[in-house]
Structure 1
Amino acid sequence: MPEPLPVPVVDAHTHLDACGAKEPGDVSTMVDRAAAAGVTRVITVADDLAAARWAARASTWDDRVFAAVAIHPTRTSDFGAADRAEIERLAAGPRVVAIGETGLDYYWDYAPPDAQQAAFRWHIDLARRVGKPLMIHCRDAYEDVLRILDEEGAPEPVVFHCFSGDAAIARRCVAAGYVLSFAGSVTFRNAAALRAAAELVPDGQLLVETDAPFLTPHPYRGRPNEPYCAAYTIRDLADLRGVSVAELAAAVTATAERVFRLPA
């Protein structure tokens, strides 16, 4: 376990179910582990309809857990009216704090681009209608994601989860007012372009996440990831940005509270 952070932080994007949590006790045990490291609140995120139902339920089991619901772009081949109605119903829940993760993924060939783009546009509209942040998954698709946000009119705010672009893309996102969330991949020593992007994002547009169980931070890359590991990423980013751990932790906590409307 990492040394506890001097200021508590929020894991802005995790998948507690994929980490192995099933029941209320599992969730509380996992969040207890995170809290011991200074990661005192988490947002558990859905990627399909079953996960969306589970995330919405799990957010009611522990006051430290919040949820985001959407259909992942790779699962949009048959995104029909019944799916949209259920996501919209879940999105209205008081502990559902974002619409996500949605967006575009051109790396995997699981859903055609036209289906992904249609679903993305629908989720943008949903975020606007329910007044909640849009949480974006983007892989090999930044040009189309940014174009569609412009065409549809981006809701406020927009969060790029697990940001993976370079400094040029980061500057465009920052200029548009978007929030960039960095996962354990930013700590990888072969991620020079991503680390350069993380250096330039203003405090008020920076979040930290685990995307657990994926992308465990250095030096534990390849091992199972959990929300407590956000503490490693915070420490690495603080060193990269030349600030104290307490200063960065306070900044990302304030941003998470503002973006997701979490109680202070």
Structure 2
Amino acid sequence: MIWDTHAHLDDPRYREDFEHVLENMKNAQISRVTNIGYDLPSSQHSVELAHRYDFIYAAVGVHPHDAEGVTAETWETLLQLAKDEKVIGWGEIGLDYYRDLSPRSIQQEIFIQQIELANQAGLPIIIHNREAHGDLLKIVQEHPPKYGGVFHCYSGSWEMAKVVLNLGFYISFAGPLTYKNNRQTVEVASKVPLDRFFVETDSPYLPPEPYRGKRNEPTYVREVAAKIAELRQLSLEEVAQQSFQNAIRLFRVQG
């Protein structure tokens, strides 16, 4: 029983075969998926999906790419969505200095505002961090989330991971963990405490080996879990169970 803690199943790439993707997931014993919002429409879609399928949970929030378009109405609507019983996290939020689709100062401002909104809503945060390690750590240290959070698709070093863990965050691994020569992420996955990690796909992005070049889907989270099992000399079942229990703990849902 594996929980894909970060996916985007409302993406148009699933439009043609959505039910088939879900069937594949069930056959592979992927028992839960968290569908992640990245702007207001996707957050609304996430909540709608979560109500259509009992095994799907939702997160709501605004990705740093979309930070420049936020209005007061955006926050008001997201706070209303956050009251829904199937919403378990606020995200994905954070900083992205790789694409820089919104000015960095605005990204930082919107990130801080969303930490405060997550605190108000009583939700953990789901963090997107791309090439913004220093500024992001500074913000979460100065504006700590009251209900914890997770660094999704972790890409930093072990030295940074130790800081992240000391701040109480969880670390989530996705398809890049399986890529050849990804020594930095492999080191983190080999050392992270077993009670502080998740597995995810970030579907439809970042498919693991051997599916690179194809559309990712929740079924493939097994490859990420299998890589951790290999690194830690554990069974796939042990990794699946541990990551599942970790998610239950952070997101405060029933097993």
Q: TM-score range by the shorter chain?
A: over 0.9
Q: Could you tell me how far apart the structure 2 residues matched to 1:103 and 1:137 are?
A: 5
Deviates more, 1:197-206 or 1:95-104: 197-206
Deviates more, 1:28-37 or 1:95-104: 28-37
Q: Could you tell me how far apart the structure 2 residues matched to 1:46 and 1:231 are?
A: 23
Equivalent residue for 1:239?
Answer: 230
Contact 1:13–1:45 (CA<8 Å) still a contact in 2? yes
Q: Could you tell me how far apart the structure 2 residues matched to 1:29 and 1:124 are?
A: 36
Equivalent residue for 2:219?
Answer: 228
Displacement of 1:262 in angstroms is 2.3
Contact 1:70–1:87 (CA<8 Å) still a contact in 2? yes
Displacement of 1:120 in angstroms is 0.5
TM-score (norm 2): 0.96
Alignment gaps of 5+ in structure 2: none
Equivalent residue for 2:80?
Answer: 89
**1:13 to 2:6 alignment:** yes
State which of 35, 55, 62 in structure 1 corresponds to 2:53: 62
The residue type equivalent to 2:226 in the other structure is: R
Q: Deviations over 1:60-80 (max 9, x none)?
A: 001000000101001111211
TM-score (norm 1): 0.93
Q: Could you tell me how far apart the structure 2 residues matched to 1:207 and 1:19 are?
A: 26
Task: Using the aligned pairs only, state the percent identity.
Answer: 35
Q: Deviations over 1:29-80 (max 9, x none)?
A: 4332112111110000111111111111110001000000101001111211
Contact 2:59–2:92 (CA<8 Å) still a contact in 1? yes
Q: Could you tell me how far apart the structure 2 residues matched to 1:77 and 1:135 are?
A: 19
Equivalent residue for 2:103?
Answer: 112
Displacement of 1:109 in angstroms is 2.1
**1:102 to 2:93 alignment:** yes
Contact 1:184–1:217 (CA<8 Å) still a contact in 2? yes
State which of 111, 120, 123 in structure 1 corresponds to 2:114: 123
Secondary structure (helix, strand or coil) at the match of 1:103 reads strand
Alignment gaps of 5+ in structure 1: 1-7
**1:136 to 2:127 alignment:** yes
- What aligned pairs does 1:124-203 form with structure 2 within 5 A after superposition? 124-203=115-194
Secondary structure (helix, strand or coil) at the match of 2:147 reads coil
Secondary structure (helix, strand or coil) at the match of 2:52 reads coil
Q: Could you tell me how far apart the structure 1 residues matched to 2:21 and 2:120 are?
A: 33
Displacement of 1:27 in angstroms is 5.2
Shift of the 96–46 alpha-carbon distance from structure 1 to 2, 3 Å rule, reads same
